[in-house]
Amino acid sequence: MKKIFLLLLVFCCSLATSMKADEVDLSENLNSISSRSLLKPVQAFINDQTIEVDFNSTVGTVVVSIYDEMGNVVYQQSVNGVAGQRLLIDAFFFNAGNYTFEIQNSKTDLTGSFEI
């Protein structure tokens, strides 16, 4: 019984590490108002064909934009960013390449880049 439990535990741990998403490093523009929290107000992750945007703090209404290498808008949505909210963006139809990710309002200006 202990062997089965141990094998199940090892399998679950290896599954959890293989499903880890890549974080998009979002840096704050110097003009944005920073909070003193160590927790980033917003985090973004690439997980297979999905971009996950996690709002760790309430940031109010923001515009979430994704631009391709040529500067074309490939995704844009206005979102009321509330702490604990997750926005899922389907990136299935994005072409392979580099993208710029922005989250903006009058108080927040976060920018990052990622590759698909």
3-state helix, strand, coil in the chain (%, to 5): 15, 45, 40
User: What CA–CA distances, in Å, run from 93 to 22, 53, 88, 105?
Assistant: 19, 18, 14, 27
- In this predicted structure, the answer to whether residue 98 has a pLDDT above a threshold of 80 is yes
Say what the pTM is.
0.72
CATH topology of domain 22-115: Immunoglobulin-like (2.60.40)
Structural tokens at position 18: 């293989």
Say what the pLDDT of residue 40 is: 82
Q: Rounded to whole angstroms, how far apart are CA atoms 74 and 47?
A: 18
| One-letter identity of residue 112 | G
For 48-72, how does the pLDDT look when each residue is reduced to its tens digit (9 = 90+)? 889 999 999 999 999 999 999 999 9
Helix, strand counts (H, E) of the chain? 1, 9
CA distance 9 to 83: 32
pLDDT tens per residue, range 2-46: 444 434 444 444 444 344 467 776 665 534 444 455 678 899 999
What are the residue boundaries of the structural domains of the chain, listed by start? 22-115
